[in-house]
């Protein structure tokens, strides 16, 4: 508890100069886990204590991400939904359970997470964006604080939160220099000598502007090409000269519950706690 208070207190100075808004894509159909009784983002993994501290309630996967944003002092977030995933706002509501202000946007083009994120562009133009995937779990409570601190000190356009990679062939692998600059993002390599992947990020309006223009160029062929990933767009931004840095935020790999294997590992891990 006291660690959480210190984290939030120190984060306030980071956020004082510019508003930071959380941005969470929740537009996927969850094919790899079908059939599920609910959206994968609110599948219960682990437990949370109630106010009286003597009872525990199931805790949704996305709750962990929002909790970590809140510990960094982030009070506002947009969740971008696909039509039909109404159980997500039904669970999260307006954010009171997390002491946050949550709002919901509807995705338009179903061509991958970058198109989902772009729906928020008019709402985050003048803010820093704190981004995370709602179906991924990771260790450490100060990840977003580290990214915000680095961005404030360097003015990088994008700061990626890095994790040791345990399944490189299924991840975006990061080629990074000693000064934290990212040379390249290598998408799901069959073989690699790289050690880190990324999962969370902070970015400026420069990247949101780039995302908007990049997708405008891609839109005509979006329906016939393979689905774009966020990593692909960030790699394109590097190629165009945006400054992308990386900061290690955990010494343990993240855990993607969007696959049957990942979900089983998560359930086993939390059952032991």
Residue 51 has a pLDDT of 64
pLDDT at 4: 52
Where is 26: in which H helix or E strand? Answer: strand 20-26
Q: What per-residue confidence (pLDDT) applies to 273?
A: 62
Residues of the chain with pLDDT under 50: 1-3, 5-6, 9-10, 12-15
pTM: 0.90
Peptide bond preceding 35 in cis form (omega within 30 of 0): yes
CB count, 10 Å around CB of 185? 26
- Measured CA to CA, the distance from residue 161 to residue 197 in angstroms comes to 8
Q: Which domains does the chain show, CATH number per domain?
A: 2-271 (3.90.550.10)
Instruction: Please give the pLDDT value at position 9.
Output: 46
**Pairing, β 158-164 against β 255-256:** unpaired
pLDDT, position 271: 72
């Amino acid at each position: 508890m006291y660690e959480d208070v210190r984290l939030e207190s120190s984060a306030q100075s980071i956020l004082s100069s510019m508003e930071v808004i959380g941005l969470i894509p929740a537009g996927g159909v969850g094919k790899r886990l079908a059939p599920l009784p609910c959206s994968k983002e609110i599948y219960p993994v682990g437990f949370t204590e109630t106010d009286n501290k003597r009872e525990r309630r199931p805790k949704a996967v996305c709750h962990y991400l929002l909790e970590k944003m809140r510990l960094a002092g982030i009070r506002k977030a947009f969740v971008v939904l696909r039509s039909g995933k109404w159980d997500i706002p039904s669970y999260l509501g307006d954010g009171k359970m997390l002491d946050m202000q949550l709002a919901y946007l509807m995705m338009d083009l179903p061509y991958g997470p970058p198109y989902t994120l772009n729906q928020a562009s008019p709402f985050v133009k003048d803010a820093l964006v704190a981004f995370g995937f709602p179906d991924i779990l990771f260790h450490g409570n100060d990840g977003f604080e580290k990214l915000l601190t680095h961005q404030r000190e360097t003015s990088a356009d994008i700061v990626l939160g890095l994790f040791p990679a345990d399944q490189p062939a299924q991840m975006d692998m990061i080629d990074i220099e000693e000064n934290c600059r990212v040379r390249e993002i290598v998408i799901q390599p069959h073989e690699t000598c790289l050690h880190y992947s990324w999962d969370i990020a902070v970015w400026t309006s420069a990247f949101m502007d780039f995302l908007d223009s990049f997708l405008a160029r891609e839109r005509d062929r979006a329906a016939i090409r393979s689905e774009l990933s966020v990593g692909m767009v960030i790699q394109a931004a590097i190629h165009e000269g945006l400054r992308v840095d990386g900061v290690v935020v955990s010494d343990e790999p993240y855990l993607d519950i969007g696959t049957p294997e990942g979900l089983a590992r998560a359930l086993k891990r939390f059952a032991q706690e």
